[in-house]
Chains A and B, each alone.
Chain A
Amino acid sequence: MIKNISNLGDAALYCDFGNEVNKSINSQVIKYFKTIKEKKFEGINNLTPSYNKLIISYDLKKTNFKEVKNYVENINAEDSIDINSKKLEIPVCCHENFSMDIKRLEEILKLSREKILENFLNKEYFCYMTGFIAGMPFLGDLDENMRVQRLETPRVKVPKGSVALTEQFANIYTFESPGGWNILGNTPLDVFDSSKEDKPNLINPGDTVIFKEITLDQYKNYNE
């Protein structure tokens, strides 16, 4: 349930579902997001679900805080929407060409490369949200012994397809971008495709993802 609604500036509602990050709170956020999106309230022009918050921005020419707040408070999102999530397998190559931060991970986690991969691969991760850059999925939760902070100095360019870790999450860089996550491998899949306007994202909030290891040869031949 929404614990508190406040304003973020004069053109957005800030819906707070609590401070914890877990699947049950996030599923609530996603339910509200999908319900409101479906209903197409006049003036709402964007919804941003995250771990435990939902930001609803609106066109101040068409509506205002009071109207949108009143609308959201009277929504019943509890049982109205089927989350309709998918299970996806994502191929990832962890060859040294791609795993740029493996040394750093080995040092900080005090685990061998083999153990790190064993802990990471073939497990189910839940997509909490997508964004920051187009289509980037935030996937959790990593095992307790796999959690590291961001790089002190972010990279100016992280290659497209990089699979990277920070704290309890893994993500995928959908295109070349600056970024500070710890890079473990690379996927040949197009996780974001702007030419598919109705479904540009391969992974959406609520989906489950399993990373499956592929060899460098399989990676190179993947798109042929």
Chain B
Amino acid sequence: MSSNYLDIIRPGINTTFQDKGRDHLYHIGIPFSGAMDNRNYLIANKLVNNNLDSAVIEFAYQGPHIKYSGEKINFAITGDVIFSIKKEDTEIDGNCYQSYQIEDGDEINIISTNKSVYGYLALGGELDLKFQWNSCAINTKANIGSNDGKKLDVGQRINVKKINSNKDIKKTNYINTKIENIRVIKGTNFDYFSEEGKKIFYEREFTVSKLSDRMGMRLEGPKIDNIVNTNIKSEGLIKGVIQVPADGNPIIMLSDHGTIGGYPKIGVVASVDYDRLVQMSPGSKIKFKEINLSDAETLFKLYEMETQNLLSQI
């Protein structure tokens, strides 16, 4: 038995273990999964002196309330998150993007994400988790990954296998920027849509629907009219693909998406904007802006350099 562990007092709405995800499995129907907001996932690990591909706890909207038992350990939370730390008789508000040390009996209460969706809790050490295909990422749809592929539940205990010896407290000043336009590259079925439909797609505003989760983001707004065929022969999907089914409302494929789909693809979200896209909560307004492939590649390179830069400063 491990003497260092977490007890889940309240699991939160959609709390899972995530990491870098798993690849080379699309052909059998298993999506990438992994942390939705990759940059915040990496920063969380760096703040607690973990390897960057370590497992973290991802939560959406309301996070978990956790009680820790064992030797001193560091933790950090990233995203735009409201949380508190309870030690014996005191309770303080916590700040994102800095590490804290907790000890036996302390509690972390993650109240909610603020005008965003996902937040990350990293512990300075290694959680005792089951790996499938080199990843602990939980895919609740296929019940793959750690925790039998299920969300964290009340009363559950998570063992900590190893605590990092480096317990330096770290801090960074990262601020999650909001984005006005989500940049997209024209999809392979762009010409299935009417001239009016294409115009609507690039010029009008859409609203993120409540029916959004790790699999996909549904949008509501003006209908995009299909003039060719509302179905295509089923073919592969990747994250970021924007499909438009017969009802004219776009659906964006996210990290746990089905690997094959039969709806026309009007566009694909540029990789540079993926982390910020997934943070748009239901009710948010979204607008698309077309960019070409070479601009998308350059923008991603810059985004990646910025991420590496942020990490190197921690």
How many residues from B make CB contacts under 8 Å with A? 41
Binding-face segment, B6-14, B57-65, B255-263:
B255-263
- On whether the beta carbons of B233 and A130 are closer than 8 Å, the reply is no
A19 at the interface (CB under 8 A from B): yes
Instruction: Count residues of A near B (Cβ-Cβ below 8 Å).
Output: 47
B39 at the interface (CB under 8 A from A): no
> A55 CA to B236 CA in the complex, in Å?
6
Interface centre among B23, B25, B27, B265 (most CB of A within 10 A): B27
Q: Closest residue of chain A to B295, judged by CB?
A: A10
A9 to B242: give the CA distance in the assembly, Å: 10
A73 at the interface (CB under 8 A from B): no
Known: A9-B270, A55-B235, A60-B297. A194 touches B143 (CB 8 A): yes
**A161, CB-defined interface residue at 8 Å:** no
* Contact string against B for A residues 45-62, beta-carbon threshold 8 Å, 1 for contact and 0 otherwise: 111111111110100110
Q: Mark B271-301, 1 if CB is under 8 A from A, else 0.
A: 1000000000000000000000100110010
Q: Given the complex of chains A and B, what is the CA–CA distance between A175 and B140 in angstroms?
A: 12
CB-CB under 8 A from B25, the residues of chain A are 46
How long is the Cα–Cα vector from A110 to B233 in the complex, in angstroms? 26
Mark out the residues of chain B between 134 and 149 whose CB falls within 8 Å of any chain A CB in the assembled complex.
141-144, 149
* Proximity string of chain B (165-201) to chain A, C-beta cutoff 8 Å, 1 when within and 0 when not: 0000000000000000000010110000000000000
Chain A residues with CB under 8 A of B234: 50-51, 129, 132, 138
Knowing A46-B23, A60-B300, say if A132 contacts B268 (CB, 8 Å): no
Decide: A57 and B233 in contact? CB cutoff 8 A: no
Q: A50-B236, A51-B234 are in contact. Are A11 and B260 (CB under 8 A)?
A: no
Establish whether residues A45 and B23, one from each chain, have CB atoms under 8 Å apart when the complex forms: yes
- Identify the B interface with A (CB < 8 A): 23-30, 32, 132-133, 141-144, 149, 185, 187-188, 233-238, 240-241, 258-261, 265, 268-271, 293, 296-297, 300, 304
Sample 21 A-B pairs with CB under 8 A, ordered by A number.
A7-B185, A8-B241, A9-B240, A14-B188, A37-B27, A46-B26, A47-B26, A48-B26, A50-B236, A51-B233, A51-B235, A52-B235, A65-B297, A131-B29, A131-B258, A132-B234, A132-B258, A132-B260, A132-B261, A138-B234, A201-B28
